[in-house]
Structure 1
């Protein structure tokens, strides 16, 4: 069974090829990431989570289509990973989610999935264990809509969830995403989650096979015992704290050190050991978010506030340093098609 990230990337590239009519867009994006289709198809391929996220971002940028990640996620169907097979041989959608969630983080330590059930509905949750993934808005949209695509494939039913929620804001594309999905999609929520009806949980899986399911679960338990628990890196923890305090405030270095249980001097030393600086991490996060917000239709004044700049001039100066363009020029060159 192949690497789950490589599988998702190959599925995404297949959709890109079918929608654009050629391999050119996908190959160009892969080249920028120092990857190839052959490498992704090779047994034992180990894809960095940042590479997968940036592939989705890059394709959306090339196509100038901020809805493309949503479309690709909704079109997501089958994969050949442990969790996909466990879901395929479960009895109901509820069983499929609960069985898969137990082993998902073993295959992809950047994320965890879960299921919380209330009296009237259920919450399928997606948690960023690697908090640096939170900056990749298009990728997170792709993942959550892909989860719905997988649920529809497993149950062989094109059911609709009650709602999908994202933590990030999206402004101009929010209503377009809702129209494309065909059900309510909320941005600026507290969690990344999909709200399901209780009846949806009881949808049967036509390929149910209890013997195969138990065999795969046993294999998953062995794999879980053999796999060391991955903890978020320092950079990811810093970006997570920074993101949690946005919009409107960038946590200063001294407070960040305290949040991480370090002295200011230890914090600086730990960063230096990794050839990083706090300013570099803040700049990278601000730069990524600024580009996304501009493409999503936020005003320069809104972005300046969101990213904790004293005024629009300070933000514009920083943005030109990052990109060589003013925010207005960058937006004009990257309008959604």
Structure 2
């Protein structure tokens, strides 16, 4: 199998697996840290890694100032906006399952906002199949999370503030994905990530300064922060950047449907949370929906 073919097969699967660990990390880290302070640490620790990568790879830096602006907007949306919304919602009392379901609306919102891509025409089988896939995927996500949505620890602390944070995360990741696909010229990954994370850190710094709670350093928090930097920012965020640059935005967004089922399995392994028959049925719906959504 050619390297490009292996990339097309492995990259989406690796992305979904690593991205799903974000909700596990949130459960580990949030009891010990305020959201924006944690994220500021994450951004500041990640920037030197990408700068070192750019230096070793001798990556060219953009000449056009507009490229830096576009990268900064992406960083504000996809790092500060999305992550800040998710972590703030969890800290405000919303369960990770409900947050992931709200964020799982991204494929539908993306399909509504994006212009039909080549090969998708109104009334055509490909276009109809995409919408059928998006619908099946969302039904599957609801089935996977149904039991979690009825647990007191998830729904009992629901508030207007937590819902607002979750919706902010949804809008940020959706518009960030569309913005990258529309405006950004090809930029080497370490250079793009360095600028994005710097913009996210500029946003996170004053918000972290407003938080009264401090970081309660312990093994769980250190692990959560380390994995957030190495696994999620260096790994998953980089893969998302490359997938958006190389693929159709609706197809990439549909991968988010696979995150809740994968998170449920990881929670079973990590926290011994039960995987019910409804979870398995929902996972099958999600897999079928994503397969339909990404077909041309």
Length-normalised TM-score, structure 1? 0.23
Compare the two structures and name the one with the higher helix fraction: 2
TM-score, length-normalised on structure 2? 0.25
Structure with the bigger RCO (C-alpha within 8 Å, sep 6+) is: 2
